[in-house]
Amino acid sequence: MPLTNTDDTTEQPPEAEPHTADGDVPDIGTDIRVRVIGPGLGGRYKVKALSPAVDHPLVLTVRHGSAPPRPGEEVDCWVFAHESNLCLLTANQRGRQPISPTMAQRYVAALDVLDELTRGDGTATDNARDRLSELKGMANRILRRDQADWVDVRRVLGSPDRTRLGLLRDLAANTNRALKDNDLDASQLRDDLARSGWAQALAEARETLQRRLAAMAAPETENAPAAAVQQPDQKETEPVTTAEARPPHGRYPRRDLCTRWRPRRPPTAPARNTRRYAVRDPVRAVHRDPVGVPAPGVGLRIRKHLLAPTTGMERRGRVAEAARTAPRRVTRR
């Protein structure tokens, strides 16, 4: 069973871009300076190429939210896509970023996974499926034109058209699915890779990225010995007091004769006891509650006023002595 899709259920690649062998159609990513003629169909603008001269019809697209160009204005733009009978230009620089070193390492591993699977007996490494997903993502980012480095990735792969990119995407996806089902046939994968025509292109793309990584690492290697040289340790000199640093009044304390003068911090006063009553220890006898003496603040209160203490009452609970004689009986009239 071939690993390339032949049924109509999968997503078919968009229409093939026009052939770019002739000099009339500029390649994707080419810089062009144009003059705006006027508005066109679908929110686009008709332009005329100034440098370099291009006879192929050109259309400028403006990103949503950007200021529209004025007729007669000269704009620096680049070829964003090829349509059936015209070239689509844009002034937005998104998509033209170079491949970063981190992504270059991931791309190198992804470009080599198909060759490893065809050389072996169908036994994949632990990260083979991840590398196949990365290879599929390389094709998708060119087809969708939605990543920051898709133009550079397209050039590394040899500037393929959309039909070939669809074949690479399907080959990586179907191989990944075969590895998941443990049903990979190495001989069949070898035939499908040769039939798609991607074997040589993937090898050349891998070599190109490896040369880039080596060139990026060369300056770091040259600067490494210079960075490794350490300066001899220098002793820290004691600061010398100058005339401007002297205190305005008085003289230096003896211990500060050879150091920079620092004003003394004023002594802090001990914190006052803000509590009204002293804290007593319930265990020590001297701190226990006094016997026979009322505690401070104990008494009769009316609201917030403390009344004067009363004298002790008589033993029998009376205020004064009892009357000497009982009162006489009142006679009725």
Q: Is the pLDDT of residue 138 over 90?
A: yes
pTM beyond cutoff 0.75: no
Q: Is the pLDDT of residue 25 over 80?
A: yes
Cα angle: 199, vertex 119, 191; to 5 degrees: 50
pLDDT at residue 132, as a whole number: 95
Average pLDDT of the chain, as a whole number: 76
Q: Of 92, 98, 17, 8, nearest to 56 (Cα)?
A: 17
pLDDT digits (tens, 9 = 90+) for 69-90: 999 999 999 999 998 888 999 9
pLDDT at residue 218, as a whole number: 76
97: left (phi over 0), alpha (psi -120 to 50) or beta: beta
pLDDT range class, residue 237, cuts 50, 70, 90: very low
φ, ψ for residue 55, nearest 5 deg: -90, -15
> What are 249-258's contacts with CB under 8 Å, separation 24+?
none
Q: Of 84, 100, 93, nearest to 29 (Cα)?
A: 93
CA atoms within 13 A on the CB side of 127: 7
pLDDT digits (tens, 9 = 90+) for 267-314: 666 555 555 445 556 666 555 556 656 666 666 777 777 777 766 555
- Contact indicator for 198, 112 with CB cutoff of 8 Å: no
Q: Is the pLDDT of residue 209 over 90?
A: yes
Domains of the chain, with CATH numbers? 31-90 (2.40.50.140), 101-212 (no CATH)
112 DSSP assignment: T
Read off the pLDDT of each residue in 227-232 and give the average, rounded to a whole number.
50
